[in-house]
Structure 1
Amino acid sequence: MKITTIIFVLSFFLFTSCRTTNNTITYFQDLDSRSAEIVGEVADYALRIVPDDQLSITVSGTDPKAVAAFNMPLTSYLSAEDTYVSSTPVLHTYLVSPEGNIDFPVLGRLHVAGMTRSELTNMLTEKISAYAKSPIVTIQIRNFKVSVLGEVNRPGTVTVSHERLSVLDALSMAGDLTIYGNRNNVLLIRDNNGKKEYHRFDLTSAETLTSPYYYLQQNDILCVEPNKARKGNAQYSQNGQFNVSLASTIISALSVLVSLGIALLIK
Structure 2
Amino acid sequence: MKKKSLIILLFPLILTGCQSYKKVPYLQDALQQTATADTNVPDMSLYDAHIMPKDLLTIVVSCPEEPELAEPFNLTIATPASNTGNKSLTSQPALQQYLVDNDGNVEFPVLGTIHLGGLTKGEAEQYIKDKLKPQFRETPIVTVRMVNYKISVIGEVGRPGTFTISNEKVNILEALAMAGDMTIYGIRDNVKLIREDNNGKREIITLNLNDQDILQSPYYYLQQNDILYVTPNKTKAKTSNISTSTTIWFSVVGSLVSLASLIIAITK
TM-score range, shorter chain: 0.7 to 0.9
- Return the letter of the residue paired with 1:103: E
How much has 1:10 moved relative to structure 2? Answer: 5.8
- Return the letter of the residue paired with 1:36: A
| Residues 1:99 and 2:108 are matched in the alignment | no
Q: 1:56 and 1:141 mapped to 2: Cα distance?
A: 7
Match of 2:214 in 1: 208
| SS, match of residue 135 in structure 2 | coil
Match of 2:144 in 1: 139
Q: 1:217 and 1:37 mapped to 2: Cα distance?
A: 29
Q: 2:218 and 2:36 mapped to 1: Cα distance?
A: 18
How much has 1:190 moved relative to structure 2? Answer: 0.9
Match of 2:67 in 1: 64
- Return the letter of the residue paired with 1:93: Q
TM-score (norm 2): 0.83
Q: 2:224 and 2:117 mapped to 1: Cα distance?
A: 13
Change (3 A) 1:156 1:41: same
| Residues 1:148 and 2:150 are matched in the alignment | no
| Residues 1:245 and 2:251 are matched in the alignment | yes
Aligned 1:5-154 pairs, distance under 5 A: 5=2, 13-14=9-10, 16-21=12-17, 22=19, 23=21, 24-33=23-32, 36=35, 38-39=37-38, 40-43=41-44, 45-61=47-63, 62-72=65-75, 74-78=76-80, 84=88, 86-132=90-136, 133-154=138-159
Pick which of 96-105 and 176-185 moved more.
Answer: 96-105
Match of 1:198 in 2: 204
Pick which of 225-234 and 31-40 moved more.
Answer: 31-40
Q: Which runs of 5+ in 1 are unaligned?
A: none
Q: 2:211 and 2:25 mapped to 1: Cα distance?
A: 10
Match of 2:180 in 1: 175
| Residues 1:234 and 2:240 are matched in the alignment | yes
Greater Cα radius of gyration, structure 1 or 2: 1
How much has 1:80 moved relative to structure 2? Answer: 8.8
Change (3 A) 1:18 1:48: same
| SS, match of residue 239 in structure 2 | helix
TM-score (norm 1): 0.84
| SS, match of residue 96 in structure 2 | coil
| SS, match of residue 137 in structure 1 | strand
Length, aligned pairs only: 257
RMSD over aligned Cα atoms: 2.9
Q: 2:28 and 2:219 mapped to 1: Cα distance?
A: 20
**What is the percent sequence identity of the aligned residues?**
39
How much has 1:89 moved relative to structure 2? Answer: 2.5
> Contact (CA 8 Å) 1:76, 1:85: kept in 2 or not?
no
Instruction: Please give the per-residue CA displacement for 1:143-185, whole angstroms capped at 9, x wherever unaligned.
Output: 1000111111111111111122111111111111111111111
Instruction: Please give the per-residue CA displacement for 1:4-49, whole angstroms capped at 9, x wherever unaligned.
Output: 95x9856764565134322221111232447536434445732221
| SS, match of residue 177 in structure 2 | helix
Instruction: Please give the per-residue CA displacement for 1:37-79, whole angstroms capped at 9, x wherever unaligned.
Output: 643444573222112211111111222123222222x333127
- Return the letter of the residue paired with 1:20: T
Q: Which runs of 4+ in 1 moved over 6 A?
A: 79-83
| SS, match of residue 118 in structure 1 | helix
Pick which of 62-71 and 34-43 moved more.
Answer: 34-43
| SS, match of residue 172 in structure 1 | helix
Pick which of 140-149 and 27-36 moved more.
Answer: 27-36
Q: 1:81 and 1:107 mapped to 2: Cα distance?
A: 38
